[in-house]
Amino acid sequence: MSRILATVIGILVLCSGTVHAGGLTVQEELGQRHLAGKGSYRWFGIKLYEAYLWQEKQGRADTALLDGRFVLELVYARELQGERIAASSIDEIRKLNMGSPDQHAAWLSLMRQVFSDVQEGTRLSGAYQAGQGVRFYRDGVLLKEIKDAEFARAFFSIWLDERTSAPNLRKQLLGQAS
């Protein structure tokens, strides 16, 4: 199982739940939202998940997203272990050369708390808040808010950075794929 697989698995999902997070429902994280792009992630031909990138403003997304607010949603196509999702995510962050070894250890611990095992149809979402952090949801229920801007930027860079291990998925999410 590749690192991007686990990373993708750990990825966040915007869903239609009505649970409140700090006064906001998952749907309200962005107010009026628009689908920037979507794509499938496959590992050796096996579909692992569908990814959706939601943004506040309509139009083509770009890496300036990391300076604003957005939601990354993953809908899993198969069963995956939460521990593997967390480990793959930290491996991808290391590959991007983001964070220090101490931060990696702390971030891995946080992700282990957030990412439990997923089944086919499980939705994980991450609501990114530039300069603040991220709120993670599972099937519309708030799992955890992490107020660490560096972690949030590193985590979402797994999919959005130009150096990602899944460049085709990145293009699809940013609406650049034909």
Read off the pLDDT of residues 146-164 as tens digits, 9 standing for 90 and up. Answer: 999 999 999 999 999 999 9
From 132, 154, 142, select the one nearest 7 (Cα to Cα): 154
Q: Please state the rounded mean pLDDT for residues 37-65.
A: 80
The answer to whether 133 touches 151, Cβ cutoff 8 Å, is yes
pLDDT attached to residue 117: 95
Q: Identity (one letter) of the amino acid at 153?
A: R
pLDDT above 60: residue 60? no
Burial class (CB in 10 A: 0-12, 13-18, 19+), 68: middle
The domain defined by 3-173 carries CATH number 3.50.70.10: yes
| Of the listed ranges 3-7, 57-61, 74-78, 110-114, the one predicted with least confidence | 3-7
φ/ψ (deg, to 5) at 94: -60, -45
pLDDT above 60: residue 38? yes
| Of the listed ranges 11-15, 51-55, 77-81, 119-123, the one predicted with least confidence | 11-15
* Contacts of 95 by beta carbon, 8 Å cutoff, 6+ apart: 3, 163, 165
Angle at 49 between CA 46 and CA 52, to 5 degrees: 145
The answer to whether 9 touches 47, Cβ cutoff 8 Å, is no
The answer to whether 159 touches 171, Cβ cutoff 8 Å, is no
pLDDT above 90: residue 135? yes
pLDDT above 50: residue 9? no
3-state secondary structure of 124: strand
CA 113 remoteness from chain centre: 15
* Intra-chain end-to-end CA distance of the chain, in Å: 28
Q: Please state the rounded mean pLDDT for residues 50-54.
A: 93
Sign of CA dihedral 145, 152, 4, 74: positive
